């Protein structure tokens, strides 16, 4: 039997918009500072889980809330299980928004708001795929679970908790990337580089603080340095000249009686594609190094390391971790969190996306060699995720690619990315949509949006794909 999934999806357009708006209004950023036993990741992620499950409960689906950090929506019957894995959490709104990031705005057929593209819009499309299958009474021989996490942008606490207590599918996809398919994901690891104590000596200027970045997977949009002491008389002129020769970088300076605050702004980007960003922190360091400042030893060492090893680099060439694989492509590297205080932590967090053929331990060793083991300690921060690949000949990949082509008329082909999705959790797991090919990647950026027509189209594609996989 033939089903008109496209028409069914279009009939739900206004409902999808309404539900997506409700999800965007939830600031579901990880907030462990306000965690409670009932809300281990904070109130926002818990509210995100409750809101998403509430949509399904409203419509009569069976759901399960797992400790307010994960959950699922169930559909179908059978012994075998197919999974769709999505997430309700978001990265921080950050700077540069034209509107309130958590108040959805519809303009020119797009819904603006943090999480609209990553991953609340695709989540809505995946949920309405289940509604379409149910309401069209499509017969299935397998069960489908739409599994929700609430910490995908950080440490995956939610989905890890879910895997400890709940049945997990072996096959499925994550609607958290782009079409035609993502069947390969590079390894992901963050490395904390900590500067050891530097002996003091007299200087005219002291770097009292240097800070930038809010998440390991976001290229910092802004960076701030606080300086005390006597700056060169031409300091502001030197700053103006630096900005003239570094297009896209802006700065604000506040000169006080006892200290000077300098804030530099660049362009944010997802850590999987740092090349499209302008790292405000490394540009700030580059300016300070070029400004002719007699800087204190610790500050000078910190700034010199940033400029020597990290500035204008996104492939790890200066540190010697550069690597490429024929199948998975090149390694990417971006320094995303900077913390420097004279009497406190002096560190840099570097996020690396690496292909098969290398590993996190080897990268750590090389970073320590580059920075110098006598001056810096380098550790793997958190849990490294190895590369993941599902062959393009796998029936899952072939089915999803054919579904995409049938709905769009566009050719399907395998894609390997530096981003990380829940697809890598499954033995045969991939990422599938909802970003259309050649669309600008606005995930993690200010003024994030998703086209309404793409949400609707994805609901149809997902419904058809699930039908083919589960019939």
Q: What is the CATH number of the domain that holds 89?
A: 3.40.630.10
Number of C-alpha atoms within 13 angstroms, CB side, residue 135? 16
Paired with 244 in beta bridges are none
Starting from the edge strand earliest in sequence, which strands make up the sheet with 143-149, in order? 62-66, 70-75, 143-149, 81-87, 171-174, 428-431
Q: Residues 381, 405: one domain? A: no
Cα-Cα-Cα-Cα dihedral of 55, 59, 61, 66, to 10°?
20
What 3-state class would DSSP assign to 148?
A: strand
- Are residues 341 and 195 both part of a single domain? yes
Whether 422 contacts 87, CB under 8 Å? yes
Select from 358, 360, 381, 385 the least CA-distant residue to 194: 381
Q: For residues 158, 141, 466 and 154, what is the CA-based torsion angle, rounded to 10 degrees? A: 10
Do 245 and 379 belong together in one domain?
yes
Cβ proximity of 13 and 28 under 8 Å:
no
Assess contact for 315 and 322: CB atoms under 8 A: yes
Nearest to 370 by CA among 315, 284, 305, 285: 305
> Partners of 205 in the beta sheet?
229, 295
Domain match, 373 and 235 both: yes
Q: Which residues, given as ranges, of the chain have pLDDT below 50?
A: none
- Of 467, 411, 420, 466, the closest CA to residue 438 belongs to 411
User: Do 362 and 238 sit in the same domain of this protein?
Assistant: yes
Using the 8-state DSSP alphabet, how is residue 270 labeled?
A: E
What integer pLDDT is reported at residue 362 of this predicted model? 98
In degrees and rounded to multiples of 5, residue 469 shows phi and psi of -80, -30
Bridge-partner residues for 229, per DSSP? 205
* Same domain? 255 vs 325: yes
CATH number assigned to the domain comprising residue 340: 3.30.70.360
Q: In this structure, are residues 388 and 394 in contact, taking their beta carbons and an 8 Å threshold?
A: no
Q: At what angle do helices 13-24 and 121-135 cross, to 10 degrees?
A: 140
Instruction: Give the per-residue pLDDT at 266.
Output: 97
Last residue of a domain, one of 360, 385, 410: 385
DSSP for 235-266 reads HHHHHHHHHHHSTT-EEEEEE-SSEEEEEEE-
Residues tagged active-site: 89, 152
Among 380, 351, 175, residue whose Cα is nearest residue 272: 351
Residue 232 has what pLDDT? Answer: 92
Quick one: 246 and 356 in the same domain? yes
Tokens 């360091």 belong to 285
What pLDDT was estimated at residue 448?
97
Give the CA-trace dihedral at 25, 26, 31, 35, to 10 degrees: 140
DSSP for 320-334 reads T---EETTTEE-EEE
CA distance 35 to 429: 31
Model confidence, pTM: 0.86
Cα distance between residue 393 and residue 396, in whole Å: 8
> In terms of domains, do 378 and 397 share one?
no
For the record, the structure tokens of 172 come out as 């499925």
Domain of residue 217, residue span: 188-385
Can you tell me the distance from the alpha carbon of 435 to that of 418, in angstroms, rounded to the nearest whole number?
A: 16
| Other beta carbons less than 10 A from residue 142's beta carbon | 18
Q: Which of 186-222 are b and which e, b meaning 16 or more Cβ less than 10 Å from the residue's Cβ?
A: bbbbbbbbbbeeeeeeebebbbbbbbbbbbbbbbbbb
Residue finishing a domain among 361, 385, 409: 385
User: Cβ–Cβ contacts within 10 Å for residue 427, how many?
Assistant: 11
For residue 176, give the nearest of 422, 441, 425 by alpha carbon: 422
Q: Which of 385, 420, 445 is the last residue of a domain?
A: 385
Q: Do 380 and 445 share a domain, yes or no? A: no
Tokens standing for 92? 């921080």
In this structure, are 213 and 276 located in the same domain?
yes
Is residue 28 within 8 A of residue 48, CB to CB? The reply is yes
- Number of independent structural domains in the chain: 2
CA dist 37 → 46, 68, 69 (Å): 11, 10, 11
Closest CA to 273 of 155, 378, 420, 448: 420
**270 and 217 Cβ atoms separated by less than 8 Å:** yes
377 and 425 share one domain: no
Is residue 374 domain-shared with residue 395, that is, in the same domain? Answer: no
């Amino acid at each position: 039997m033939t089903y008109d999934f496209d028409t069914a999806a279009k009939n739900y357009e206004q409902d999808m918009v309404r539900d997506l708006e409700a999800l965007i209004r939830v600031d579901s950023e990880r907030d462990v500072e306000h965690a409670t036993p009932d809300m281990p990741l904070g109130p926002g992620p818990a509210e995100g889980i409750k809101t998403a499950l509430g949509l399904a409960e409203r419509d009569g689906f069976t759901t399960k809330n797992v400790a307010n950090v994960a959950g699922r929506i169930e559909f179908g019957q059978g012994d075998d299980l197919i999974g769709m894995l999505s997430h309700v959490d978001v990265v921080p709104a950050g700077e540069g928004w034209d509107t309130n990031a958590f108040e959805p705005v519809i303009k020119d057929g797009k819904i603006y708001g943090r999480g609209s593209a990553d991953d609340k819009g695709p989540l809505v499309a995946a949920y309405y795929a289940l509604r379409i299958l149910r309401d069209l009474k499509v017969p299935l021989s397998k069960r489908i679970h739409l599994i929700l996490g609430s910490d995908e942008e950080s440490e995956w606490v939610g989905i890890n908790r879910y895997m400890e207590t709940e049945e997990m599918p072996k096959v499925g996809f994550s609607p958290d990337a782009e079409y035609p398919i993502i069947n390969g994901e590079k390894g992901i690891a963050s490395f904390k580089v900590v500067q050891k104590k530097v002996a003091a000596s007299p200087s005219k200027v002291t770097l009292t603080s240097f800070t930038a970045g809010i998440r390991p997977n976001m290229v910092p949009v802004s960076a701030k340095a606080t300086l005390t002491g006597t700056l060169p008389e031409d300091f502001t002129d030197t700053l103006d000249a630096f900005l003239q020769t570094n297009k896209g970088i802006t700065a604000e300076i506040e000169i006080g009686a006892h200290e000077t605050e300098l804030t530099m702004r660049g362009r944010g980007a997802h850590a999987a594609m740092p090349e499209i960003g302008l790292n405000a922190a490394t540009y700030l360091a580059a300016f300070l190094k070029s400004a002719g400042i007699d800087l204190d030893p610790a500050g000078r060492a910190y700034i010199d390391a940033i400029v020597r090893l990290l500035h204008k680099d996104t492939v790890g060439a200066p540190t010697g971790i550069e690597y490429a694989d024929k199948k998975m492509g090149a390694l990417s590297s971006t320094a995303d969190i900077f913390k420097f205080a004279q009497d406190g932590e002096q560190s840099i967090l570097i996020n690396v996306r690496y292909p098969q053929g290398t590993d996190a331990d080897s990268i750590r060793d090389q970073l320590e060699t580059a920075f110098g083991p006598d001056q810096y300690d380098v550790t793997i921060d958190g849990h490294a995720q190895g590369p993941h690949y599902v062959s393009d000949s796998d029936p899952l990949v072939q089915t999803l690619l054919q579904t995409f082509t049938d709905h769009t008329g566009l050719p399907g082909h395998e894609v390997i990315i530096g981003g990380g999705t829940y697809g890598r959790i499954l033995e045969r797991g991939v990422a599938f949509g909802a970003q259309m090919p050649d669309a600008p990647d606005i995930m993690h950026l200010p003024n994030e949006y998703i086209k309404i027509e793409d949400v609707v189209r994805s609901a149809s594609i997902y419904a058809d794909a699930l039908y083919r996989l589960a019939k």
